[in-house]
Structures are given as structure tokens and as C-alpha cells.
Amino acid sequence: MFEGPIQEVIDALGELPGIGPRSAQRIAFYLLAADDDVTTRLANALSNLKENARFCSTCFMISAGEQCRICSDATRDHSKICVVETSSDVPAIERTREFRGVYHVLGGALSPMQGIGPDNLRIRELLQRLGDESVTEVIIATSPNVDGDATATYLVRLLSPLGITVSRLASGLPVGGDLEYADEITLGRAFAGRRVLVEG
Amino acid sequence: MFEGPIQEVIDALGELPGIGPRSAQRIAFYLLAADDDVTTRLANALSNLKENARFCSTCFMISAGEQCRICSDATRDHSKICVVETSSDVPAIERTREFRGVYHVLGGALSPMQGIGPDNLRIRELLQRLGDESVTEVIIATSPNVDGDATATYLVRLLSPLGITVSRLASGLPVGGDLEYADEITLGRAFAGRRVLVEG
């Protein structure tokens, strides 16, 4: 609809996930009216992203330096490694405040459909970490979907001979959800994973 | 939560309207995984925005050149001017395909609360256009809210001595809406603006 520089911004924003044409237009006009440094800061941050983004040499999470903040934090429990698919899974787990160990980012999940095999993930690097360090538990936190389940099964088989505790996040009814509206697969998993409260 | 370049992108995106912290994170990781030219195109478009964005010298809509596409289109009816608050109101009206005239962008609405008076809007420029051109109708399309109403009232008083038809967009029940859930002001306006279907 528009022309020139504003339309270029609208088009470029419209390609981002979760931003429709109306949001893109709204943001573009916001930027046009905003202070110069709002736009400059965003433009610079974007230009720097690909150049300067690095991955932690230990856990492969996105990082500012050679090692990420979590791996270089001595107060964390380095004997527990939580295996996740992507860097963006880490803050979700950090927000729970349930885990004080360290992470290992696989870089995706096994997916024969998309041609992603074990060699495309950082599984060899995980095995190296398990060899070097005094790791006692590996917690598999891949997503509870087909690819995540396949990855978890593969890892369990791979890690079971190593004498390390291997666990996986519980799958079941989400807290605050309504049993009546739970899908049958989630409900089935909740049954299979039920916890005994009183031993009979 | 993250550090370095990715967090800078997340922070900068998070300041945009309609983008929360989760969307910002999602977009940042999307950009990290996407082709270099997606990020480059967005960064360049943003850098160009402020430098190269211009406003049409006739209607003050955002434009690529001296005159916008609509003002320089000879097939449009230059005798009808639709007065809007901002450039982003124009595509909304264009989508209706009801209007084939030209526009005039005020650059906002009168707002004593925010200290926006007639001199802050492009009202003098509108009067100049009405003097120069053979304009027969001015359609006031300011928003149906306090400031938009005040602006419309002001314009009606200003333009009434000029012998030009001045109209305002109808206010009433939105199409597809439910009368039961209409707010009383909208419903009141729908009553006041009712159309006689059979003359009694």
C-alpha cells in the first residue's frame, strides 16, 4: 500500500514470525515517529547479531563469549546436565528455578523426515562431556512431540551403558488445565506416569 | 536471560509496540537461524527509514518521492479530499474501495490534553488546497473518539463558510456486531444517525 522506505520496513518486518501485515505497519509508523536512536539501536543490534553471536564451547548455548554464563558459574551443579533441543529452551527451564545444574544444547531434534540424524546434533559433544566430567545425572528435556520423543529414546539407549542416571521430564496434565479438555495422548501419558501417593 | 548480541536484539525488539518478551525472543532466534540477507534487509530498511522517508508535498502522506502515488494519479477524483489523522489511516480507507478521491493527512488530532492545537496540524495546508483547487467535497475521516470528534467539529466550523460540501464518516453499529453488546455511545450515535428507509 505504501511506497519507498516505509514499505520496505513493513515488508521486512512482515517476514518475521508472529508479525502480520497490520502489526508490521503499526511498528513501522511507530519507528518513524520514535526517536532516531530507537531505530538505530535496533538496526545496529540486527547487524551485529550474525557477526558476533557465538555459541558456548561447552554447552553450545548462544553466548557472548567463549563460555556461557551458566557454564562459567562455579555455584551451579556441574554434575547434572539438562539436555535441551535449542538455546531458547533454556530460559523456560531457568524460569522454573527448579534446576541449578548446567545445560547441553543439541541444536535440534532427530527428524528422519527433515533429514536430521544423530550426526547433525551435538550428541558426540555430549558424550565427550560425560567422559571428561564427573556427571551423575543427565536430564533429557527434549520436547514432548514425535521428534523430541525419538531423540529422547535414542539418547536413553546411547547413555544407558555409561552408568549415569538418565531421566526425562514428566509428561502429563498441565497445571491449571481441565481434565475434561485434555487431549487423549496427554491424558494417556498422565496415566502412564501416575505417582503412587499411598502404597497399598 | 541471554547475553551479548542476541540479548541486544531481544531488548530492541521488545521495545516495539505489540511485541512482548516471548515474541522478541522468538524473532531473535528466527533471525539467528535465517539467511543472512533476511537480517541484512531488515537492518538496511530500518537504517534507510528515517533518512529517506518523505511526505507528499500535497497531502502529507508518507511517500517515496515529492508527490505520493495517490496525488500523482490523474485517474483519481481530485475534487474530493478525505481528511485523515495519519498516513496509516489511508490504507484502511483504500481497502474499502469506496473512495476514489485524494487525501489530506493532518498529522494527528486536536488534543488540548497533549498540547496539540490547530497550528500543530496541517490545517493551514488544507485551506491552501481548498483555495487553489476545484474541490467540491471534504470528507472528514478523523477517528470517532474525543480528539477526532473535536477535530471534526473544528474543521466543520472552519470550512463551512467556504461553500464546499463537508461530510463526516457515519458512526454507528459495526457490521457483524451484535446490538445487544454495543456500547451505549455507539448505539446512541447509531440512533442519531439513523437513515429513513420509508418516508411517512
Q: Do A18 and B27 touch (CB under 8 A)?
A: yes
Tell me the pLDDT tens digit for each residue of B13-66. Answer: 999 999 998 899 999 999 988 888 888 999 999 988 888 888 999 999 998 888
Does A132 have pLDDT greater than 70? yes
pLDDT band for position A50 (50/70/90)? Answer: confident
Mean pLDDT of A106-126: 93
pLDDT at B119: 94
pLDDT at B200: 67
Name which of A26, A45, A87 is nearest B9 (Cβ-Cβ): A45
Q: How far is B28 from chain A (nearest CA, A)?
A: 9
Mean pLDDT of B163-180: 84
Q: Do B4 and A50 touch (CB under 8 A)?
A: no
Cα distance between residue A120 and residue A56, in whole Å: 17
**Minimum mean pLDDT among A86-95, B2-11, B91-100, B182-191: which range?**
B182-191
Is beta strand B62-63 parallel, antiparallel or unpaired with respect to B54-55? Answer: antiparallel
One of 3.30.70.360, 3.10.20.600, 3.40.1360.10, 3.40.50.300 is the CATH number of A75-168, namely 3.40.1360.10
Chain A residues touching B48 at Cβ < 8 A: 5, 8
Residue type, position A156, single letter:
V
Which chain B residue lies closest to A20 (C-alpha atoms)?
B18
Regarding predicted confidence, which is higher, A192 or B146? B146
Is beta strand A101-105 parallel, antiparallel or unpaired with respect to A77-84? Answer: parallel
Tell me the pLDDT tens digit for each residue of B101-129. Answer: 999 999 999 998 889 999 999 999 999 99
Does A37 have pLDDT greater than 80? yes
Range list for CATH 3.40.1360.10 in chain A: 75-168
pLDDT at A13: 93
Q: Do B69 and A3 touch (CB under 8 A)?
A: yes
Say if CB B81 and CB B58 are below 8 A apart.
no
- A195 interfaces chain B, CB cutoff of 8 Å: no
Put simply, the chain B residues between 40 and 59 with a CB less than 8 A from any chain A CB are 40-54
Cα distance between residue A166 and residue A113, in whole Å: 27
pLDDT at A200: 67
Chain B residues touching A46 at Cβ < 8 A: 9, 12, 31, 39, 42-43, 46
pLDDT at A60: 94
Which chain A residue lies closest to B87 (C-alpha atoms)?
A29
pLDDT at B116: 93
Name which of A4, A23, A41 is nearest B64 (Cβ-Cβ): A4
As a whole number, the mean pLDDT across chain A is: 89
- A106 interfaces chain B, CB cutoff of 8 Å: no
Cell numbers 544444547: residue = A105
Tell me the pLDDT tens digit for each residue of B124-138. Answer: 999 999 987 689 999
Range list for CATH 1.10.8.420 in chain B: 4-52
Chain A residues touching B39 at Cβ < 8 A: 46-47, 49-50
Does A72 have pLDDT greater than 70? yes
- A81 interfaces chain B, CB cutoff of 8 Å: no
Half-sphere exposure of B149 (CA within 13 A, CB side): 7
Does B199 have pLDDT greater than 80? no
- B116 interfaces chain A, CB cutoff of 8 Å: no
Q: Do A1 and B29 touch (CB under 8 A)?
A: no
Is beta strand B77-84 parallel, antiparallel or unpaired with respect to B101-105? Answer: parallel
Q: How far is B14 from chain A (nearest CA, A)?
A: 10
Chain B residues touching A32 at Cβ < 8 A: 49-50, 53, 62
Chain B residues touching A65 at Cβ < 8 A: 3-4
Q: How far is A162 from chain B (nearest CA, A)?
A: 32
Architecture in CATH of A4-52: Orthogonal Bundle (1.10)
pLDDT at A2: 83
Q: How far is CA A68 from CA A59, B1, B187, in A?
A: 8, 11, 59
Is beta strand A165-168 parallel, antiparallel or unpaired with respect to A54-55? Answer: unpaired
Q: Do B62 and A15 touch (CB under 8 A)?
A: no
Tell me the pLDDT tens digit for each residue of A56-65. Answer: 999 999 988 8
pLDDT band for position A140 (50/70/90)? Answer: very high
Name which of B4, B48, B88 is nearest A52 (Cβ-Cβ): B4
Report the Cα B110 to chain-centroid distance in Å: 14
Cα distance between residue B64 and residue B87, in whole Å: 13
Cell matching residue B132:
487553489
